[in-house]
């Protein structure tokens, strides 16, 4: 996996000087007369963000200059590599602040990401020599695992089904000497995961429960749960073509917990980590679950199927109950769960639900610091009445169009014990358009924020 970050280069290294707007006048006054004339003639000013080459007398390049805002953040740094040709670059580090070193390297790695699996010819992004004062472990873990999340989500469903998702989890486990087990097909019934089986049984790519463990068994317990619907047709309540177009991304929650686990294990957080991923395809067949069916769950609660396209919460019910059975200190789940969350907050801002104010505050504070936004929404108890089933304990699809993200979170809350600090993140996991550092396609959303919060909590 190419991070486009390097320690050395056999080819010539091009220097990049960073000039903040508040430094512009001083920088300009120190230029040679020829360069001062060139800067003025090309309209370079303190009010713009740009990267440009200062030429020498023969038309070569003396250095590149990155003109940026007074307080550049991660996404300001991510602007830079997209405006440079292929080559190897190095930041002139004088005048940079402590936070700039990590942001520059992480922003570079995220901005130069390419999903090239199906390309016949490979593009060559520019490379950056690691800044000497960056945290290499953090930079590499962040970039590598963001790339992993993007790759998994972007891969078409014909090449990434439940089995391939389990194989990807096994690769993460192997890299960090974690244990992994997978329960497949009819074995799910024997091991009492009936809801996972019910959703995934209609496809010949068998459903499964992926279970990864890492760390000292006596350490504080942390469990991650990720929705792994590798493709969602909607089941018998079939989606229209427009609604099915991006449904390869419906395993985005699973991708996120694998990426987050990778960051946690790379940082060697002192935790007993468990990762649970119910992996299925929600398909159409003679044995598909039907609207009106009543399903058993691992907890013993029954679910009335109001709509077969609300399958994500059904498989998470089994996984969350198993997660809670070991009474970890924290459970966090990621899921591409509801369109209602997108209607409320748009596609770029994941919804955060939590039963514990301290955990929610830790995540929200970290989201601001890491420029990885989340917005807390309420577990409003007044809507509990909406998820009561007519024949069963719960319905997976409340009547009416309102508060859908909230009722989905309330449904999941039934499978987590109150004394466990739990956070649920309902996210898009996809960039509809490109911006600096965030190409169109699969995206890690909230992962860096949650890692930073967990790092502070458990370190």
Q: Which residues are catalytic?
A: 239, 313
Query: Residue 189: how many CA atoms within 13 Å on its side-chain side?
Result: 9
Q: Alpha-carbon distance 63 to 305, whole Å?
A: 63
Q: Which of 204, 214, 139, 201 is nearest to 170 (CA)?
A: 214
* Burial (CB count <10 Å: 0-12, 13-18, 19+), residue 301: middle
Q: Alpha-carbon distance 74 to 147, whole Å?
A: 16
Residue given tokens 């929650």 in the structure block:
253
Q: Which of 238, 257, 221 is nearest to 334 (CA)?
A: 257
Which residues does 448 contact at the CB level (< 8 Å), separation at least 6? 142, 146, 370, 372
Whole-angstrom CA distances from 425 to 3, 252, 349, 368 are 27, 11, 10, 16
Cα angle value 452/456/459 (rounded, 5°): 120
């Amino acid at each position: 996996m190419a991070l486009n970050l390097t320690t050395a280069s056999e080819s010539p290294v091009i220097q990049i000087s960073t000039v903040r707007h508040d430094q512009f006048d001083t920088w300009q006054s120190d230029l040679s007369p020829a360069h001062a004339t060139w800067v003025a003639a090309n309209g370079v000013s303190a009010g713009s963000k740009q990267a440009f080459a200062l030429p020498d007398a023969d038309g070569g390049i003396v250095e590149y200059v990155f003109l940026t805002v007074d307080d550049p953040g991660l996404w300001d740094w991510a602007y830079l590599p997209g405006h440079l040709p292929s080559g190897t670059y190095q930041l002139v580090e004088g005048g940079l602040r402590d936070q700039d070193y990590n942001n520059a390297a992480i922003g570079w790695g995220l901005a130069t990401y390419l999903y090239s699996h199906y390309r016949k010819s490979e593009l060559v992004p520019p490379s950056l020599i690691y800044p000497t004062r960056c945290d290499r472990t953090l930079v590499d873990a962040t970039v590598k695992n963001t790339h992993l999340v993007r790759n998994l989500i972007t891969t078409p469903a014909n090449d990434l089904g439940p089995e391939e998702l389990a194989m990807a989890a096994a690769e993460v486990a192997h890299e960090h000497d974690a244990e992994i087990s997978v329960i497949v097909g009819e074995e799910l019934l024997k091991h009492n995961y009936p809801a996972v089986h019910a959703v995934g049984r209609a496809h010949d790519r068998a459903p499964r429960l992926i279970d990864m463990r890492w760390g000292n068994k006596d350490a504080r317990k942390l469990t991650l749960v990720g929705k792994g619907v590798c493709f969602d047709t909607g089941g018998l309540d079939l989606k229209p073509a427009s609604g099915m177009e991006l449904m390869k991304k419906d395993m985005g929650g699973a991708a996120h917990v694998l990426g987050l686990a990778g960051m946690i294990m790379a940082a060697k957080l002192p935790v007993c980590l468990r990762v649970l991923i119910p992996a299925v395809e929600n398909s159409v067949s003679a044995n598909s679950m039907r609207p009106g069916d009543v399903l058993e769950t691992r907890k013993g609660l029954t679910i009335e199927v109001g709509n077969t396209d609300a399958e994500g919460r059904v498989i998470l019910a089994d996984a969350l109950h198993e997660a809670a059975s070991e009474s970890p200190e924290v459970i966090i789940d990621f899921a591409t769960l509801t369109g209602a969350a997108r209607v409320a907050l748009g596609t770029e801002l994941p919804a955060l639900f939590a039963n514990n104010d301290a955990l929610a505050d830790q995540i929200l504070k970290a989201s601001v610091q890491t420029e990885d936004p989340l917005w807390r929404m309420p577990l409003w108890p007044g809507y509990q009445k909406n998820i009561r089933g007519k024949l069963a304990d719960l319905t997976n699809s409340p009547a009416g169009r309102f508060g859908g993200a909230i009722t989905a979170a309330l449904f999941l809350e039934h499978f987590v014990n109150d004394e466990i600090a739990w956070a649920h993140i309902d996210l898009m996991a996809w960039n509809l358009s490109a911006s600096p550092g965030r190409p169109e396609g699969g995206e890690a959303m909230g992962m860096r924020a949650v890692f930073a919060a967990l790092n502070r909590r458990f370190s």
